[in-house]
Chain A
Amino acid sequence: KNQVEQSPQSLIILEGKNCTLQCNYTVSPFSNLRWYKQDTGRGPVSLTIMTFSENTKSNGRYTATLDADTKQSSLHITASQLSDSASYICVVSFYASGGSYIPTFGRGTSLIVHP
């Protein structure tokens, strides 16, 4: 069964600090891995996307890594800001028969940044 596990479930950090979120997956056949930021009650917003051959991808203060051999990914947030408080969701997709990328969503890590 395709699964995506994220850790920690929740995280509280002080403004300005760095943090790293983890994602382990068993999705097969692997197509791509995305990290999304989701504010409460709103649609997910894509932060990074990586395919099998990519090991790292950055988007401003967000840096994602991917180890396709161990099926692990991490999202590193540098110099956190209050606006980073949100749920961070790891989504791993496989290429389905109809041509869609069918995503398997992780439960997300709830990040709270305190001043």
Chain B
Amino acid sequence: AAGVIQSPRHLIKEKRETATLKCYPIPRHDTVYWYQQGPGQDPQFLISFYEKMQSDKGSIPDRFSAQQFSDYHSELNMSSLELGDSALYFCASSSRGLFLAGGSHTDTQYFGPGTRLTVL
């Protein structure tokens, strides 16, 4: 079965540079979530999108922005990178529409393999 695809898998950037992470959800999934997991830390929820609209916002810095496109893939744009932005960035997808329509009793999130961002 198709899974969540993230690209790139690894990214190395310098301080103050910009980075763009991409997430391709499972086909027919309409919701995308972004998480940041620092070394030895829990994943932190950043932001989510449902049907191409921002749904909820967590601890996402103002330097970051994200959007979901018409094909449901999502991109996380990170500017003015700092050393502390080095982390594993996970994307997850779910089928919220199916849940809301009563086709599923819960909104299970399926995680991608992550993008490891290193800021030097």
Binding site for B on A (CB under 8 A): 32, 34, 36, 41-46, 49, 51, 89, 96-103, 105-108
Contacts and interface: CB of A to CB of B under 8 A. Distances in A.
B50 interface: yes
Interface residues of B, number: 30
Interface stretch (B11-19, B73-81, B103-111): B103-111
B106 A99 contact: no
A41 B114 contact: yes
Given A41-B116, A51-B105, A106-B42, A100 B56 contact: yes
Contact of A100 (B48, B88, B106, B112): B48
B33 A100 contact: yes
B68 interface: no
A108 B109 CA distance: 18
Q: Which of A32, A102, A108 has the most CB of B within 10 A?
A: A102
Contact of A103 (B45, B106, B110): B45
B33 A44 contact: no
A46 B3 CA distance: 13
Interface of B: 4, 31, 33, 42-45, 48, 50, 54-56, 58, 88, 90, 92, 94, 96, 100, 105-114, 116
A99 B97 CA distance: 10
A98 B49 CA distance: 9
A98 B56 contact: yes
A43 B113 contact: yes
Q: Which of B42, B48, B58, B116 has the most CB of A within 10 A?
A: B42
Q: Which 9 A-B pairs have the closest CB atoms?
A: A43-B111, A98-B55, A105-B42, A98-B56, A100-B56, A100-B48, A96-B56, A100-B55, A43-B113
B114 A43 contact: yes
B91 to A, nearest CB: 9
A96 B110 CA distance: 18
B109 A101 contact: yes
A41 B118 CA distance: 13
